[in-house]
Amino acid sequence: GLRPLTKSAFMKRLSTAAAYLNHADIKGHSIRIGATLEYLLRGVSFEVVKSMGRWSSDAFAVYLRKHAVVMAPYMQDTP
């Protein structure tokens, strides 16, 4: 029957697909950061993204610092 896809099974399938396409292997962390960026680009607030991604701090902002479109509005609001 149907059952949830585990993280390890998902990563294995992703790795297989990347190899088939002759693409560099993609790590789970990249997907997490990519999803964070996607939500922020869609206008979801930092606090909601932190909660959804189970981020315990603002550390994820380090990964997004090069994305001025996302960071600029928040940098203007924060001293």
Sort 11 into a burial class: Cβ within 10 Å, 0-12 / 13-18 / 19+.
middle
Report, as an integer, the average pLDDT of 12-16: 92
pLDDT attached to residue 28: 80
Among residues 49, 53, 30, the alpha carbon closest in space to that of 39 is found at 49
Average pLDDT, the chain: 81
Q: Cα separation of 77 and 43, whole Å?
A: 15
Reported as a single tens digit per residue, the pLDDT across 28-62 is 878 887 888 888 888 888 889 888 888 888 777 77
pLDDT attached to residue 19: 92
pLDDT attached to residue 36: 83
pLDDT attached to residue 66: 66
